[in-house]
Structure 1
Amino acid sequence: MTATTAHARAAARPCDRETSLTRSLLGYGVIAGPVYVGVSLTEALTRDGFDLTRHAWSLLANGDLGWIHITNLVLAGAMTIAFAVGLRRAHGRGWAPRLLAVYGLSLLAAGAFRADPVQGFPRGVPGGETTWHGVAHLASGGVGFTCLVAACFVLARRFARRGRAAWAWSSRATGALFAAGFLSMVSAAGAAWSNLAFTAAVVLGWAWIGALAAHAYRNA
């Protein structure tokens, strides 16, 4: 089927209320990543004392302007959950929507439980102290990232069964690279290369979610 034929068939399908709702939910998956990454990068480049080579984005939740990143996390989490609901409506029950919903919930939890200050950010705030909300933040991130990686491989298997080799390969690659970036951050915390690798993995993860949402939207 050519792209033109697929587009013509999609345009010919009746856009009833249920379809419109499903597409609206899927649309949140398209915008969640650009919003989260765009706001986070803007914060990282403008917040005093923040260093992209040393500090994870989650540290932006600290300080007088921390509410911006907390709001960013909550919005990204809510949009991811909405996308997961849309994916379930579009493609039926399965593990992928559930795993993505848990990832969205983990973002909400990461916003609720602030990361502990470390490595001199925010400027003037002593780091190194471990708090209960810092531990909760790390735990929510670990659960969420694991679910995102699992969703990549679950969908890779589904795409492979349907003969969508490019999607299967890209989903596996995203899952593997995200897992590698997360493990590098955990094992070499504080190293510039590991922090940059994890940041790149986060951007890649959001890009995959956005592409998946756009694909599901076109086929809803």
Structure 2
Amino acid sequence: MTGTFTTPGPLHSAAATQRSTARWLTTGGVVAGPLFLAAGLAQGLTREGFDFTRNAISQLALGGAGWVQTLSFVCTGALLVAGAAGLRRTLRRGSAGRWAPALVGVFGLSFWAAAAFPADAGAGFPAGSPDATVMSGHGAAHMAAGMIGYLALCAAFVVLARPLAARGLRGWAVASRVVPVAVLAGFMASAASVLAFTAGAGLGLLWLSAVMARLADAPGDR
């Protein structure tokens, strides 16, 4: 009797490798936000003169220990860029597969720009700084980078609503369209409340982590 033998094809092996690579890269995007916020919280609670009700996390890059926050910006940017690459492999096709990773990548690059162009001193930080903030060129570049980055992030959330819905995650899809409103509201309220700004920025980072983790675990389009 003649039998027919099949061997595990290279296509199956390649697909498994791609899934594994996508998962590892996506993990970068999942952990980026929580790590950045944890680092900011730890520094804010220990740096002299820093007050979460008056100072933005970006200002932690100033002063003698400012290198810690600068490193946090650089590492977070790298993790987000890796996450964008993983998201591209996870979504694979369609307009969301092109635009969402590109927008998340822009968000990651904005952290590198924020590291290169530090925020201005003011509101009593670093310790001994005057309350008034005088806008400098690097301070303006820092603010522009943050605005561009978060606008890209909000756009990415809207784009990601479609693949979330396609995977049967209707509630996630609705929330992904609502979260950008809350993020932008926090930015608009920044002139009156630094905490509102921080909350909006933090919400954006945490929701990105949640969405990327959910997409990595969800089955394909239904």
TM-score bin (small chain) = 0.7 to 0.9
Letter aligned with residue 182 of structure 1 = F
Structure 1: which amino acid aligns with 2:205? W
| Contact 2:183–2:200 under 8 Å retained in 1 | yes
2:203 — aligned with what? 204
TM-superposition CA deviations, 1:162-194 (whole Å, max 9, x none):
553211111112111001111111xxx2x3xx2
2:77 aligned residue? 77
**Which residue type is aligned with residue 113 of structure 1?**
F
Residue number in structure 2 paired with 1:8: none
Question: Matched residues, percent identical?
Answer: 44
Aligned to 2:140: 135
How many equivalent residue pairs? 202
Mapping 1:4-19, distance limit 5 Å:
16-19=16-19
Shift of 1:153: 1.2
Gapped runs of 5+ residues in structure 1? Answer: 1-12
Structure 2 residue 107 is the aligned partner of structure 1 residue 107: no
* Counterpart Cα distance in 1 of 2:142 and 2:120: 9
Give TM-score scaled by structure 2 length.
Answer: 0.85
1:65, CA displacement in angstroms? 0.6
Q: Supply the distance in 1 between the matched residues of 2:64 and 2:31 (Cα, whole angstroms).
A: 27
Q: Which amino acid aligns with 1:88?
A: R
SS in 2 for 1:55: coil
Distance in 1 of aligned mates of 2:138 and 2:149: 16
Choose 1 or 2 for highest CA Rg.
Answer: 2
Distance in 2, Cα, partners of 1:158 & 1:172: 12
The aligned residue for residue 166 of structure 1 is 171
Contact persistence 2:157–2:177 (CA under 8 A): yes
Q: How many Å separate the matches in 1 of 2:141 and 2:76? A: 18
| 2:213 alignment partner in structure 1 | 214
For residues 182-193 of structure 1, the aligned pairs below 5 Å read 182-185=187-190, 189=191, 191=192
RMSD: 1.8
* AA of the residue aligned to 1:74: V
Asked if structure 1 preserves the Cα contact closer than 8 Å seen for 2:123 and 2:129, the reply is no
Which residue of 2 is the match for residue 45 of structure 1?
Answer: 45
Task: Name the structure 1 match of 2:61.
Answer: 61
Partner Cα distance (1:130, 1:218) in 2:
44
The answer to whether the 8 Å contact 1:26/1:216 transfers is no
TM-score (norm 1): 0.86
Shift in Å, 1:80: 0.6
Distance between the aligned counterparts of 1:70 and 1:38, measured in 2?
A: 14
SS for the counterpart of 1:63 is: coil
Give the Cα–Cα distance (whole angstroms) in 2 for the partners of residues 160 and 219 of structure 1.
Answer: 11
Contiguous gaps of at least 5 residues in structure 2? 1-11
Alignment-derived partner of residue 23 in structure 1: 23
